[in-house]
Amino acid sequence: QPRNTDGYDYANYHTLNEINSFIDMLVAENPNLVSKIVIGQSYEGRPLNVLKFSTGANRPGIWIDTGIHSREWVTQASGTWFAKKIVTDYGRDPALTAILNKMDIFLEIVTNPDGYAYTHTSNRMWRKTRKPNSGYSCVGVDPNRNWDAGFGGAGASGYPCSETYRGPYANSESEVKSIVDFVKSHGNLKAFVSIHSYSQMLLYPYGYTSTPCKDQSELHALAKKAITDLASLYGTQYTYGSIINTIYQASGGTIDWTYNQGIKYSYTFELRDTGRYGFALPANQIIPTAQETWLALMAIMQHTYNNPY
């Protein structure tokens, strides 16, 4: 085990325990900047850990989560890299420092810990939560179809054995409900970025309806800026747009709900796609993926900082 976060191998995949140890080390090393919040428990009783980066009280916040689909390991690995990047750059990078002097950043590195643990122990291809479905042998719900935004509509399955099973009712999954409760109780989140992999897309609401969201032109322009910044590092080309126009109709999705809660800068990423591995990217892709994604995240965070609402 590494003794500190400098000794952590960011270019390797890690188990849930290793990531949780990393979280605790990061908090211990940066007590004036980082704290850990437990926003709830997973179905199997694991803590839902969120890192809070904060330099003051009662600040507006930016939320980032990685890996709600457990098998997309490059997202959790990128989230770990982001956490270290934030503590490294605070006080050095003027843009991030300015943001953190005015806003908090919340980062949930392992959004679906039961699923993530399961991918390490039993089934590398596991994607959903691990809650049993009454009357079926198939386990789990797609947590990105379980939000109360067009829940139950087209673009999600009502069949528990489907990979896109929406669950019996909105927020049925504690992994989702815990975030919902946190967002509502916080009440002042200004940006919400949910990170998935793969296929190189940056998407904004809506997924459940073809009606454009009222901020579409601004979100579209910001997405263009973010993916341009992202591409400046390694030339990785992203597509961008609303979920329904860019991929497909999907109901019950995360950012549709957050947008409807009033969080204007709601985005979801689909990370790097080499065309060879799908979401099972080799570990040597972790750092380039995280580095380029960070540039896009910074674009979104800076815009949020510069455009208070």
Partner 1 sequence: RENFVGHQVLRIQPTNEEQISVLRSLAEKHDLGLDFWTEPVSVTKPVDVRIPFKVLQPIKIFLLENDIQYSIMIQDLQDLLDEEERVMKTRSA
Residues making contact with partner 1 (CB under 8 A): 9, 11-14, 121-125, 159, 161-163, 199, 247-248, 275-280, 282-283
C-beta of 165 vs 265, nearer to partner 1:
165
- Least distance (Å) between residue 292 CB and partner 1: 21
- Least distance (Å) between residue 278 CB and partner 1: 5
The one catalytic residue in 72, 108, 173, 270 is 270
Please confirm, yes or no, whether 108 is among the known catalytic residues.
no
In terms of Cα–Cα distance, which of 205, 194, 178 is closest to 261?
205
Number of Cβ atoms within 10 Å of the Cβ of 42: 23
C-beta of 12 vs 101, nearer to partner 1:
12
In terms of Cα–Cα distance, which of 107, 110, 81, 122 is closest to 17?
110
> 202-214: b or e for each residue (b if 16 or more CB lie within 10 Å)?
bbbbbbbbeebbe
- Least distance (Å) between residue 71 CB and partner 1: 10
- Least distance (Å) between residue 19 CB and partner 1: 13
DSSP code of residue 165: B
C-beta of 254 vs 304, nearer to partner 1:
254
What separation in angstroms does the CA of 61 have from each of 36, 40, 169, 214, 215? 15, 19, 28, 22, 19
Q: How many residues does the chain have?
A: 309
C-beta of 129 vs 304, nearer to partner 1:
129
Catalytic residue numbers read 270
